[in-house]
Amino acid sequence: MRQIKKLISDREIQNKVKSLAKKISKDYRAKDLVLVGVLKGAVIFFGDILKSISIPVYMDFVQVSSYGASMSSKGVTKLKKDVEVRVKGKHVLLIEDIIDYGYTLDFLLKHFAKKKAASVNICVLLDKVSRRMVDVPLKYKGFEVPDKFLVGYGLDYAEKNRNLPYVGFISR
């Protein structure tokens, strides 16, 4: 049986969310902003960011696949659900739980550029720099994390442990 060890507490996460939301609200004041959450992992982070932003925003979701039930990315990203909100001429902020290899966010940056968004930027809670294969610009970043398999606060292992209020790692 795998054990989960706490890495980032709920309180640390909430403090970071408030800080990121304050910067986002300031940077996008008087702009048409579309928050796009990346399903399923970013749902909890997305909800907390959305509640903490002080400006009007549009919201929508995309769903992509690259991991499946595996503990590592296959390097191929597929769009399973696209946004319904029209993003042409609007500013898109992708909200993602974690950037690992960078394949998914690189794919989404290109996807929204093709849709002629005014700008496309990224807000990520967790940055696993040591695993990066694709250089992806991050406008807003929460925590840099070690090369461990993380769960909790939306992150899963084979669809389990998303409901943990903190971020932990699976120890073997």
pLDDT tier at 171, thresholds 50, 70, 90? confident
pLDDT at 73: 54
Given a cut of 90, whether residue 57 has pLDDT beyond it is yes
- Spatial separation of the C-alpha atoms in residues 149 and 71, rounded to whole Å: 7
pTM score of the predicted model: 0.92
Backbone angles phi, psi at 13, to 5 degrees: -65, -50
pLDDT tier at 158, thresholds 50, 70, 90? confident
Active site residue 156: no
pLDDT tier at 74, thresholds 50, 70, 90? low
pLDDT tier at 14, thresholds 50, 70, 90? very high
Is 125:143 a contact under the CB 8 Å cutoff? yes
pLDDT at 1: 54
Given a cut of 80, whether residue 68 has pLDDT beyond it is no
Lowest mean pLDDT among 9-13, 14-18, 137-141, 154-158: 154-158
Q: Of the listed 97, 100, 127, 156, which one is catalytic?
A: 100
Query: Exposure pattern of 118-132 as b/e (b: 16+ CB <10 Å)?
Result: eebbbbbbbbbeeee
- Please compute the mean of the pLDDT values over residues 1-5 and round it to a whole number: 82
Catalogue all structural domains in the chain, each as residue range(s) with its CATH number.
3-171 (3.40.50.2020)
pLDDT tier at 20, thresholds 50, 70, 90? very high
Q: How many residues comprise the chain? A: 172
pLDDT at 75: 67
What mean pLDDT value characterizes the chain?
Answer: 93
